[in-house]
Structure formats: structure tokens, C-alpha cells
Amino acid sequence: MISVKKVIKNAGIYGTVQVLQGAIGFFLLPLYTSYLTPTDYGIFSIVTSITGFLGMFYLLGLNGAISKYYYEYEDDEALFKKFIGTIITTILIISLILTIFLFSTHTILLDKFIKGINFYPYMAIGLLTVGFSTLFPIYQSILQMQHKAEKYAVQQFSVFLVTLLLNIVFIVVIKLGVIGQLLSAFIVSIITFIYAFVVFTKFTKWKIDKKIIVRSMKYSMPLVPHSLAGWISTLADRIILNNLKGTALVGIYNIGYQFGNIINMVATAVNSAFIPWFFGVMKDSKNDKNQIYRFGTAFILLYSLGALWLSILSPYILKFMVHKSFYSAVDCIPYIAFGYVFNGVYYFFVAGLFYNEAGTKYIFIASTVSAAVNVALNFLLIPKYEIIGASAATLISFAVSSVMVLGLSRIINKKDDLKWNYKKIYSIVIISMVITGIIKKMMLNFTSNLCLLLISTIMLYFISGLKFKDIVNLKKK
């Protein structure tokens, strides 16, 4: 089992890559928003959201099966090759069949969800992209299970830089608009597909083993409804906004979402390092589980502080980062940011259900309820409140999801003694939200806001009950 120090180091590496990607992307927003209209941003957001949703059907949760059974197969080289080969071959067959099927039936299945957006060329490029984007995530999952954070980070950042350069060429130089942005993603998907395929040929037996695929599917299939419901929660707002208010408003909303998504980038990076370590801790009953709780509480405090600072400072940042036609995006940033704080809480609470094989079939309950709440609230709030309504629906649905997985985890994992101090965790998040609302309501100048942020940070640190020595000890373990 790796140490907590290694987990924090890996989380730092993943986080650094995420932050660098986000930072470079943000610095290029003035450039992008000068060449792309709100409608262009709306088209790109709709296409990538739908293809992301369809990607769940391409993978069928089998990347999760790799995370689950990796340690079981890694010591037997022949069995490991058979295991990886079975997963990859299955995914390739599914990808080919699904891509052909969706191109043949798009008028029935897809066109009704992309009002005002032509299937050709926009969705067509998107479908080809998702078809070629199946192997690389599997390879990245394996690197995570091997705790090769440095290699993972280098590859991830390289992919980002290539995409960035292609975007500049296609959007700024050739002036292809949103088609250029979609083409960049398509070309990168082909490059990563070829790279992953070549790597896999070195340690893969290209054959489907019936026992392995049945076992893997038994674990992964219950996760598919969970994944689909999760994507519905992030897809519904854009689809409903597009159909009720137009593509341009989706583009403005997407800019605000990008800012709020900073919290998600950090939380996802932490989770990438946390899950392999968590599985290792849980595997041995002699391990001290209190380190899990300290780790989780410390990072929830970090997410909450991040959302607080981002919410208050975003109006100042946005004016320097985007064209004035996107300024109204600032209204939805606090809702999205704190929505992803709740999603960070969800990541910690749901880990126990992912660890417990019997627990995976219950995860979709929380995801389905959360998605239903999200869709209902979007239909209810968007007609009157537009992007604020959409972002509020996101916040509430993520909060509901975190509460539900907490309840399910406490029921399913009684024997594993997963006793999160959920009252403290939710107190940190809710108090941060209240402070955000109060500061924004006061409408103070930059200096006053900064002073209040510093005072709030100190106050939340003491409310968390964490001691500095505990945080330092996490790094040492």
C-alpha cells in the first residue's frame, strides 16, 4: 500500500496538470471569445455534452472494472494480458457498432436534442471523436492504478497542448470557427487512439475471455446507469437552455461553467489519487481509517475556500478574460462552483460503495434521483431565471447526490466502519455558501472583499476542527 504522502504527491501532480490546463485555457479566453460568438460556444457545448453522454455507452463502465480488478490480475502476467485484452477488444467492437448505428439513426435519436444545430458537420465530427476516444482513457486508468502520476500528467498535458495549438491554427489562423474547435478534438482523438493501441499491443492478448468479460460486466454494468445519470445532470441544463432560450445563451452559460469548473478540476485530480490509495487502505483491516477522514475533511475545506474566493473574485477576473458579450456569465459562477464542492463531497462518500462489489448496484439510485431532480429543476427554473436557474439546478442536484450516497454508504458498508463526520463536512460547505452570499450582497470594493475573504478563510479553518499538525502529518505518512 502506498503512503498518504504519495497520495498527496500524486494528487498534487494531477492537480498541477489540471490547473495548468485551466490557466492556459483561461488566458486564451480573450482570444477565443474574440473569434467565437456566444452561438459558437453554445454549439460546441451542446455537441461535446451529447458526445460525452454517448461515451458512456461506448465504455459501458469497463474502465471502472480495470480499477477494481487491476491488483487481482497484475501479479500473473499471462492472466493480466488476457484481462486487458478482453476489456479492450470488447470496447473496440462496441465502439464500431455504436458509431455506425448512431450515424444511421441520427434523425430519430439525436436531431431532436440539437435544435438549431445541424448534424452535419457538427454532430458528425463529434461522433467520430467519441468513437476514437475509447482506448486512451483505459490506458490512463492503468497508469493511475500503477501510481505513475508523472507519466499520466505528461501525457495528459501533451494532449492538452496539441489540442490548444490546433485550436489556435483552426480558429485564429484559418478562421474555421466552431468547426475548427471540433476538428481539433477529432484529430487529437485519432492521435491518442493510435498511441494507446500501439502501447497495448506490447502487453495485451487480443481475445475475449468469456469468464473475464462476464465478471467485468457484472461489476461495470450497474455503474452505467450511474454514469448516464451523472451525464444527464451536466447535459440537461444545456439542452433545455438551447431549446427554450437559444444557443447563444448556452454559450454564455458555458463560459460561467468553465470558471465554476475550476473546483471540479481540483476535486477530480484529488479523486484520481485518492481512489487507488483508498482501495489499498480498505483492503487491510489493520490500516487506520482515520487518515481517510482527515484527508477528506482537509480537501473539502480546500474546495469550499476555493469556491468562496472564486465566487467573490470572478467579477473582476471575468472583465479581463472574456469579450463583453459574455459578462453576464458571472451570475452563475457561485452556483456552479459550490455545486462542484458538493460533487467533491460525493467523491469521498461514494468511494466506499465503489469498493464494495455489492454497493455498485446502489450507486445508480443516487445518480438517478439526482438527475431527475436536475431535469425537473431546469424545466422549472430556466424559463424565468435562465442561466441562474440552470446553475441553481446543478447546485441542488449535486447536493442531493452527495447526501444520498452518504446514506447508502452508511447502510451498505457497516462492516467496513466508514464513519465520516458528515455534520462537520456539510457545515464547512454550507457556511462557506452563506459567507459568499453575504459578501456578494454587500457589494463592496475589491480591497474590502479581499479583507473579508482572508477573515473568512481563517474562520472556516477553525470551524473545520483541523489542526495544522494533522495536515502536516498527512504529508509525512
pLDDT above 70 for 358: no
Task: Provide mean pLDDT across the span 366-390.
Answer: 94
Q: pLDDT tens digits for 44-55?
A: 989 988 998 898
- Return d(Cα 103, Cα 187) in angstroms, integer: 19
pLDDT above 80 for 378: yes
pLDDT value of residue 470: 55
pLDDT value of residue 2: 60
Q: Tell which residue, 376, 372, 354, has the closest CA to residue 363.
A: 354
pLDDT value of residue 287: 61
Higher pLDDT, 465 or 370: 370
Higher pLDDT, 454 or 223: 454
pLDDT above 70 for 212: yes
pLDDT value of residue 56: 86
Query: Band of the pLDDT at 397, cuts 50, 70, 90?
Result: very high
Q: pLDDT tens digits for 294-328?
A: 888 999 999 999 999 999 999 998 888 888 888 89
Task: Calculate the average pLDDT of the chain.
Answer: 87
Higher pLDDT, 334 or 280: 334
Higher pLDDT, 274 or 343: 343
Query: Are 39 and 181 in contact, with CB atoms under 8 Å apart?
Result: no
Task: Provide mean pLDDT across the span 242-262.
Answer: 92
pLDDT above 60 for 146: yes
Residue 224: how many other CB atoms lie within 10 Å = 18
pLDDT value of residue 120: 94
pLDDT value of residue 471: 52
Residue 84: how many other CB atoms lie within 10 Å = 22
pLDDT value of residue 156: 87
Higher pLDDT, 9 or 92: 92
pLDDT value of residue 472: 47
- Return d(Cα 474, Cα 477) in angstroms, integer: 5
Q: What three-state secondary structure class fits 77?
A: helix
Q: pLDDT tens digits for 155-202?
A: 988 998 999 999 999 999 999 999 999 999 999 999 999 999 999 988
Q: What is the H or E stretch that residue 378 is in?
A: helix 360-412
Helices 124-131 and 178-200, interaxial angle, to 10°? 20
Phi-psi region of 166 (alpha: psi -120 to 50; beta: other; left: phi over 0): alpha
Task: Provide mean pLDDT across the span 320-344.
Answer: 93
Query: Are 295 and 16 in contact, with CB atoms under 8 Å apart?
Result: no
pLDDT value of residue 225: 77
Q: What three-state secondary structure class fits 265?
A: helix
For the chain, helix, strand, coil in percent to 5 are 85, 0, 15
